[in-house]
Structure formats: structure tokens, C-alpha cells
Chains A and B, each alone.
Chain A
């Protein structure tokens, strides 16, 4: 897959759209913006691995990355 360097405004729009789509996915534990190849991508954090590919790799031309961060605790 070729790398797409998106403007931050476009990445924000995709983040909002994807956030709504994934609102019912219990494993999702955060969705934000990540710097990528001179532009911005969307980062979806997971508390646990998801068995099915419910997270798309690209939305509206913006790359979507995933990371399993586990449980987050106040330090």
C-alpha cells in the first residue's frame, strides 16, 4: 500500500468518522492522530487484539494504524 501524507484537517475528519464507527467495539481504547511521512494518519489503540479485521487500513485516503496498548492505569 502506498503511503499517503494527509493534512491534519483531513485526518481529524477521518478520526471523527472512524470514532463513530468503532464506538461499539469494546476493544478500542483510544483514537487519535499520529504524525506519518510528513503528514498525519489516524491511530486506533486497542485494549486487546481483535480477531476480525474490523479496523480498516485506510479511510477516505487517510492511513489508519493500530496499536495494542492494553489497559491504561493512572500512575
Chain B
């Protein structure tokens, strides 16, 4: 579909006089937001948000339908939207924050100086993800931000030197006031082979103060032993400080949905939450996962599902940090 056609349809569906099956514009409750292009996120409705998503080819676009409640996915409203778009839709269930999750997590979506791990961050063109850690490069003497490619480099679309905002744009960050770093390097996401890491680094601007310690955890040093680690924690932009445990390691053939399509990952770590709470949600991408026992770094969070795991509330996937460090020539945490 052409971009102007998608925009026209979107306006028609959410306008003040909706067609049958259309939606009334109302304020939506807070929602977990996937770290993705801001242009993919449109106006929101109770449980359903509409926007513009890229299609399979150049200059091909889809109507993005983002759904907060699982029972709406197969519902008549979504079907009506799909029919209106002649099937050219990109429908995704993104979930919704519970009231309990919203209160403590909000603190990590705000502007913070000095910048610190666990808080909202993102390439200027995306929504928001999480600042994973402050790291030191081999042969480098200046601090870098570590997070995901899809958070700092917009799924390979970012250019070296692009502005990185804290907070991310979805949380109110602007290039004029909130630039804290410049994209420096990333691991290319590849649709033709198995990926091992979704990671990127950004050089922190000289005039931006930083604090490498983690909220609630303090200083984290060294890398954890993957085979020995069981209990983990993370601090992320959306769900804040959460506990989890490792449910699998060395996971191959993992298909992960990105804006650009499905990508395969090998050698990943799987984590589930505890006490019926998910370990992560959209916007937590880029969080550093830490071994609770040794207080050392273990992995870089990048994806998740909303089902599976011991409690059935979903599992989280993360890249082994040793692989991330090797791929990006990172010497260690700052």
C-alpha cells in the first residue's frame, strides 16, 4: 500500500465519524511499547492503536494495528480494520501494563542526569528501549552506552553518528534537548543467516554526565558463568526491577519478529519471571541481565513472548554478554 493511502485509511478509521467497524478516538491506558520506529505507532484507542508499518518492499506500507488485550486479537474490530485495509495490515499483540507494573516502572521512563543503566533510551527515530550498561571498548578511553541494535540503531537503518536520546522519543525525548550520545557501532541484523546478538554501542557526548551503577543493585563487575547461573535480575524501562530465573541456555532456531520481518537467533538464553509476573515487556529491550548470586553481568535482553514459561506469562530472550562483547570489541563494564 502507498504511504498516503495508509495514512488516509488510518485517519478514516479513527476520525470523528467512523465507518461501521471503525473506532471512536479515546485516551488509551498506558501500554508497554515495543522499541520500534515512532512512525509505526499511531493514535491509540481502548485496546487498539493504529499506525504505519513498513511493508515487504521499498515504498510499500501496511496499516499497523497494535493490540493491548489478547481477546481483541481475533475480535470483530480488528477484523473490520483488516477488511478496510484489504488485508494489508501488520497486526501485533503488544500487551498492556498492569497497574502494579506502571507505578514503579514510570521512574525509569523519565529524563535522568547523570544518565544511568535501566532508564529509557533510544535512537531518535524509534520509540524507546533501555540503556543496558556503560561500557569500555578495547583501545578506547571514553564511555559508551550498550543496548540493542533495534534500540540504538533502528534495525540497521541508523547511521553512525545519529542522535541517541535519553529518554527515548516515546517518553518525551527530543533531539534538541535530550541527545546524550551518538551511534558508534552495531551488530548487523541479518535475515539470511542465524544471528547471535542484537547489540549496539553509542559514544556518550563529552558534556553528558554518566553513572555506571545500577538502580537498586549498585556496581556490577565481571561476567557470570552461564552454566552456573540460575537466578537473575534486571532493571528496565517498562517493568523496572524484576526477578527471573534461567529456563534454558544455548537456545537455537529462535524466530524473532522485528519490523523488518522474522529473524533467526542461535545460542540464546531464555528467562522466565517469578510469582506470575513476566520478566520483561516491550520497552525493556537493551536491559542488562545480572546474575543475582555473583552480582555479575550475564546477558543483553532483546525479545520476549507473552506465553510459555512455568507461569505461562511468557519468556524473555537474551544474548550472552560474552558474545556481545566479542562482537563489538567491548573490553568490559565501566
Whether A and B are associated in the same complex: the answer reads yes
Name A's B-contacting residues (CB within 8 A).
8, 12, 15, 19, 23, 28-35, 43, 45, 47, 67-75
A8 touching B227 by the CB < 8 A rule? yes
User: B305–A71 contact, CB under 8 A?
Assistant: yes
Most buried by B among A29, A30, A47: A30
Complex interface residues of chain B between 265 and 311 (CB less than 8 A to chain A) = 268, 270, 280-285, 301-309
- For residue A59, give the distance in angstroms from its CB to the closest CB of chain B: 16
Residues on B with beta carbons closer than 8 Å to the beta carbon of A75:
34-35, 129, 280-285, 301-304, 316
Given A15-B250, A32-B251, A72 contacting B317 (CB threshold 8 A): yes
Chain B residues, CB < 8 A from A35: 230, 246
Closest chain A residue to B304 by CB distance? A75
Across the interface, A69 reaches (CB within 8 A) one of B35, B284, B302, B315, namely B315
Q: Are A69 and B305 in contact (CB under 8 A)?
A: yes
Nearest chain B CB to A37 CB, angstrom units: 14
B92 CB-CB contact with A under 8 Å: yes
Residues on the B chain within 8 Å of A30, using CB: 248, 251-255, 268, 270
- C-alpha spacing A8/B226, complex, angstroms: 12
B256 interface residue per 8 A CB criterion: yes
Q: Which residue of B lies closest to A32 (CB)?
A: B251
Q: Flag if A72 contacts B150 (CB, 8 Å).
A: no
Residues of chain B contacted by A15 (CB below 8 angstroms): 250, 252
Is B198 an interface position by the 8 A CB rule?
A: yes
* B257 at interface, CB cutoff 8 A: yes
Whether, in the assembled complex, B137 has its beta carbon less than 8 Å from a beta carbon of chain A, the answer is: no
Residues from chain B with a CB closer than 8 A to the CB of A29 are 253-255
CA distance A68 to B305 in the complex (A): 10
Which of B148, B247, B252 has a CB less than 8 Å from the CB of A19?
Answer: B252
B249 at the interface (CB under 8 A from A): yes
